[in-house]
Structure 1
Amino acid sequence: MAIALVLHRVADYDAWRAVYDSVADLQAAGGVTSESVHRMADDPGNVLVIHEFDTLSAAKAFFDNPELRAGMQRGGVQGEPRIEFFE
């Protein structure tokens, strides 16, 4: 199993969440087996997303998908997201 942690700032959480929810099919096709979203308690524009995958290679391939990057832009992600992989 592999886990990807994604930390990024969003301009508007509700707008970002609508886009995030709209790409559920992209997540499923990319091998996401479980996901959760968390907001920093004292900074709700700071979002942590946790995705689980069967393999590290599936996780890395998912985050290399240009459709995912386009979705992040549509959702109002500010700056470059921090993405870390764990096994």
Structure 2
Amino acid sequence: MPYLLLRHQVTDYEQWKSAFDAHSLTRQANGSRGGQLFRSASDPNELVVLLEWDVLETARQYAQSEDFHEMMQRAGVVGRPTISFLKDGEQVSR
């Protein structure tokens, strides 16, 4: 499965989370299968989001879309987010 990995800073977590949750149907319509959200232990406004996608190219198109960038701006993302596309994940032992 391909993944979209986002890392960014936000001005206010609650504002960001509300905008992110409101955008869930758009993500789903574009092939997102959901994922995980992480907050930095030292800064609760530093976020890492790992989303699983049906197709890598669809994840790329979504991340480059105007709608995605407008949502990030409305959500209060500070600066330019780090966006990575991943594939071939595997579980590792302890």
Which bin holds the TM-score, normalised by the shorter protein?
A: over 0.9
Alignment partners' CA distance in 2, 1:24 and 1:34: 9
Q: Which runs of 5+ in 1 are unaligned?
A: none
Q: Which runs of 4+ in 1 moved over 6 A?
A: none
1:86 and 2:92 correspond: no
Alignment partners' CA distance in 1, 2:22 and 2:30: 14
Percentage of matched positions with identical amino acids: 32
SS at match of 2:44: strand
RMSD of equivalent CA atoms: 0.8
Counterpart mapping for 1:1-87 below 5 A: 1-87=1-87
Larger Rg: 2
Structure 1-normalised TM-score?
Answer: 0.95
Q: Which runs of 5+ in 2 are unaligned?
A: 88-94
Structure having the higher strand fraction is 1
Alignment partners' CA distance in 1, 2:8 and 2:50: 12
